[in-house]
Amino acid sequence: MNQLFDKKYPVTSSLLLLTTGVFLSMMLVRGFDYESVQTVYDFGGVLGAQIQFNPSQSWRLFSAIFVHIGLQHFVLNMVTLYFIGRIAEDLFGSKAFLALYLLSGLMGNLFVMIFSPLAVAAGASTALFGIFGAIASLRFIARSPYLQYLSQSYTSLILINILFSFMPGISLAGHLGGLVGGGILAFVFPVYGERDSVKKNWRRTAFLFYVLLASLLYASPILFGVTY
Contact present, 101 and 84 (Cβ < 8 Å): no
Active site residue 73: no
The total number of residues shown for the chain amounts to 228
64 vs 67: CA distance, rounded Å: 5
Active site residue 175: yes
Catalytic hit among 116, 125, 137, 171: 125
Query: Phi first, then psi: what are they for 122, rounded to 5°?
Result: -165, 165
190 vs 196: CA distance, rounded Å: 8
Contact present, 151 and 102 (Cβ < 8 Å): no
Q: Which residues are catalytic?
A: 125, 175
